[in-house]
Amino acid sequence: MPVVLHWFLPTTGDSRSIVGVDDRGGRSTHTDGASLREPDIDYLVDVARAAERTGFTGVLTPTGTWCEDAWLTTAAIARETGTLRFLVAFRPGSLSPTLAAQMAATFQRISRGRLMLNIVTGSDAAEQQRFGDWLDKDQRYARTGEFLSVLRGAWQGPYDFEGSHYRVAGALAPRAFTPPPIYFGGSSPAALQVAADHADVYLTWGEPPAAVAEKIAAVRALTSREIRFGIRLHVITRDTSEEAWRVAQSMLDALTPEQIATAQSSLRKADSVGQQRMLDLHGGKLDALEIYPNLWAGVGLVRPGAGTALVGSHTEVADRIAEYHELGIDEFILSGYPHLEEAYHAGEGLVPELRRRGLLAS
Tell me: the pLDDT tens digits for 257-304? 998 998 888 888 877 888 899 888 988 778 889 999 999 999 999 988
Look at residue 28 in the predicted model and tell me its pLDDT.
Answer: 47
Coil, strand or helix: which one is 268?
A: coil
Q: CA 87 to CA 327: how far, in whole Å? A: 23
Average pLDDT estimate for 123-134: 72
Rounded CA Rg of the chain: 19
Least confident of 27-41, 61-75, 129-143: 27-41
What pLDDT band is residue 33 in, cutting at 50, 70 and 90? Answer: very low
Whether 239 and 349 have beta carbons less than 8 Å apart is answered as: yes
Q: Is residue 42 part of a domain?
A: yes
Q: CA 103 to CA 96: how far, in whole Å? A: 11
Q: Is residue 137 part of a domain?
A: yes
Q: Is residue 362 part of a domain?
A: no
Look at residue 22 in the predicted model and tell me its pLDDT.
Answer: 42
Q: What is the mean pLDDT of the chain?
A: 92
Q: Give percent of the chain with pLDDT exceeding 70.
A: 94
DSSP secondary-structure letter at 177? -
b/e burial code for range 155-183 (CB count within 10 A of at least 16 → b):
bebebebeeebbebeebbbeeebebbbbb
| pLDDT over 50 (residue 25) | no
Look at residue 34 in the predicted model and tell me its pLDDT.
Answer: 43
Look at residue 207 in the predicted model and tell me its pLDDT.
Answer: 96
Q: Is residue 90 part of a domain?
A: yes
Q: How many structural domains is the chain composed of?
A: 1
Average pLDDT estimate for 218-229: 97
Q: What is the pLDDT of residues 51-93, one digit of tens each?
A: 999 999 999 999 988 899 999 999 999 999 999 999 999 999 8
| pLDDT over 90 (residue 131) | no
DSSP secondary-structure letter at 299? G
Quote the Cα angle for 54-19-249, to 5°.
80
Look at residue 30 in the predicted model and tell me its pLDDT.
Answer: 47
Supply the CATH number for residue 68's domain.
Answer: 3.20.20.30
Provide the H-helix boundaries in the chain: 41-53, 70-78, 97-111, 125-130, 137-156, 189-198, 209-221, 241-253, 257-267, 273-282, 314-327, 339-345, 351-356
Q: Is residue 64 part of a domain?
A: yes
Q: Is the dihedral of CA 298, 311, 350, 36 positive or negative?
A: positive
**Structural domain of 279:** 4-356
DSSP secondary-structure letter at 272? -
Q: Is the dihedral of CA 119, 30, 209, 5 positive or negative?
A: positive
